Amino acid sequence: MILRDRNHPSVIAWSIGNEIYERADTSGQRIAGQLVRVVKSLDNSRPVTAAICFFWDHPGTDWSASAKAFASLDVAGYNYMWREYENDHKKYPDRIMAGTESFPMEAFENWQQVEKDSWVIGDFVWTGMDYLGESGIGHMYYDKKDTSFSMQWPWYNSWCGDIDITGQKKAQSYFRDVVWGRSNLEMAVHAPLPSGKKEGISMWGWPSEYQSWTWPGEEGDTLQISVYSRCQEVRLKLNGKVIGQKQTSDKTRLTAEFTVPYSPGELKAIGIINGKEVATKVFKTAGKPSHLILTADRTHINADRNDLAYVSVEIRDKDENLIPNTDITVKFIVSGEGELLASGNAAPNDMHSFRKPECKTFNGKCLAIIRPYSKAGSIKVNAEAAGLPNAMIEILTR
């Protein structure tokens, strides 16, 4: 693996392990030393790290024992232990640290350490993208019986990622854009809570937030709006009327919260710096389903069985608004110089074969993966859904 990838500029460090059971034992130290020597014999241009976690698997062992695990590493990898950065720096001022796993709900706290302390060089959330397995560790719940580590069937993917299994951004990813300084302003709407219920969030979870102002049946009911911003203030408007204005800063975790009675139309957040409006975010209520939109990540691919095209499907209304609250079955017909390799949606609990030529949308979206044959030409992807006109996209192979 090292010989294969050591010339890739995306490789910034080599890791020799993650949450290894014997990390602080004599045997662990010996094996770690051997692995470090092997790595450096193959590539001495990059640092070596490992991800070290709290000693949950060794009851009674104090965090101070982690010093043995970090001893042979160039970069000390901390899993969920950002609260120990300052203490450890006092004891080991030359130690370079990085967050190798962190909780989505602690994105702000972890990144504060990176910005504040020069010896903390970065942070990795668990996890960047949803994956198959550890089913539902990022779930939310209303019932205490669902506080377990994972969820039961039919849950099948983790649901803890910033990006879902079809490659689309999830709510926490928009918050992280603000935390990282990639965006000055983002907004999210919390799904209505069932009467008398209170939301609980798993350790790897995130609140049930959506980038949507389409909530039919909730007219007049109060919804919670979160506006994430690095601006000094944010103003919230509903259908042109000011709902409120609040300050945002590190003290508020870059967040302003509003409660708003739901009324269809336009929800608009405005970011303000020194009295001037510098950023806006708008959600519009979607109408009835009108048509499907197909979008390929690439419309020209190689005539090679190892190349792929990813075709996203969205349900839109007549004004091209995504309809997030309508899930329908989409059937795929692929002709020409390629085939349907897989189809699916991002729902963590909609388990079905990826090989079927149909799937349901989830939050108004689904995905088809197209694999070319070994001949240059054209691939036509047709999508059909009951009550809507057919949609088609062409992918050229070369």
CA distance linking residue 61 with residue 213, whole number of Å: 49
* Cβ-based neighbour number of residue 148 at 10 Å: 13
Are 303 and 204 members of one domain? Answer: no
Domain count, the chain: 3
Judge contact between 98 and 75, C-beta under 8 A. yes
Strands 48-53 vs 75-79: parallel, antiparallel or unpaired: parallel
Q: Which residues in 274-294 are b (16+ Cβ under 10 Å) and which e?
A: eeeeebebebbbbeebbebbb
- Check if the beta carbon of residue 379 is closer than 8 Å to that of residue 336: yes
Residue 239 and residue 345 in one domain: no
Same domain, residue pair 300 and 386: yes
| pLDDT score recorded for residue 145 | 65
Proportion of the chain above pLDDT 70, given as a percent? 99
What distance in Å separates the CA atoms of residue 319 and residue 338, rounded to the nearest whole number? Answer: 32
- Whole-angstrom Cα Rg for the chain: 24
Q: Dump pLDDT digits (tens) for 337-368.
A: 999 999 999 999 999 999 999 999 999 999 99
Pairing of strands 233-238, 200-201: unpaired
Assess if residue 23 is contained within a domain: yes
In this structure, the chain runs to a length of 398
pLDDT at 98 over 80: yes
- Backbone φ and ψ for 250, nearest 5 degrees, come out as -60, -35
For CA atoms 353, 354, 358, 360, the dihedral sign is positive
> Which one of 229, 260, 284 terminates a domain?
284
Q: Is residue 167 part of a domain?
A: no
What value does the mean pLDDT take over residues 4-19?
97
Same domain, 74 and 27: yes
Q: How far apart are CA 189 and CA 129, in angstroms?
A: 22
Query: Does one domain contain both 221 and 241?
Result: yes
Q: How confident is the model at residue 197 (pLDDT cuts 50, 70, 90)?
A: confident
Is there a single domain that holds both residue 233 and residue 307?
no
144-153, 171-180, 201-210, 232-241: least confidently modelled range: 144-153
146 pLDDT band, cuts 50/70/90, is low
The SS3 assignment for 271 reads: strand
Say whether pLDDT at 111 is over 80.
yes
- Tokens 């349900």 locate to 315
Looking at the structure, tell me whether residues 14 and 110 fall in a common domain: yes
State which of 84, 100, 123 marks the end of a domain.
123
Mean per-residue pLDDT, 370-375: 96
Give yes or no: residues 298 and 227 share one domain.
no
173 touches 163 (CB < 8 A): yes
Distance CA 396, CA 379 (A): 6
- Does residue 353 fall inside a structural domain? yes
Neighbours of 270 (CB within 10 A): 21
Cα–Cα distance for residue pair 50/44, rounded to 1 Å: 16
Domain boundary among 259, 284, 309: 284
15 found inside a domain:
yes
Report the C-alpha gap between 255 and 283 in whole angstroms. 18
Residue 150 in domain: no
Residues 271 and 343 in one domain: no
* Domain shared by 248 and 360, yes or no: no
pLDDT-based confidence at 270, cuts 50/70/90? very high
Do 267 and 339 belong to one domain? no
For residue range 76-95, list pLDDT tens digits in order.
999 999 999 999 999 999 99
74 in any annotated domain: yes
200 falls within a domain: yes
pLDDT in tens, 273-309: 999 999 999 999 999 999 999 999 999 999 999 999 9
Residue 237 has pLDDT above 70, yes or no: yes
The percentage of the chain sitting over the pLDDT mark of 90, rounded to a whole number, equals 96
Q: Is the pLDDT of residue 195 over 90?
A: no
Instruction: Return the pLDDT at 142.
Output: 87
In a domain, 145, yes or no: no
Residues spanned by the domain of 241 = 178-284
Query: CATH number, domain at 251?
Result: 2.60.40.10
| CATH classification of the domain holding 106 | 3.20.20.80
Mean pLDDT over the full length of the chain: 96
pLDDT mean over 215-239 = 97
pLDDT digit string, tens, across residues 307-319: 999 999 999 999 9
Q: Indicate whether 147 pLDDT > 80.
A: no
Integer distance in angstroms from the first to the last C-alpha of the chain? 31
pLDDT band at residue 377 under the 50/70/90 scheme: very high
Measured CA to CA, the distance from residue 357 to residue 348 in angstroms comes to: 19
Cα–Cα distance measured from residue 284 to residue 321, given in angstroms and rounded to the nearest whole number: 8
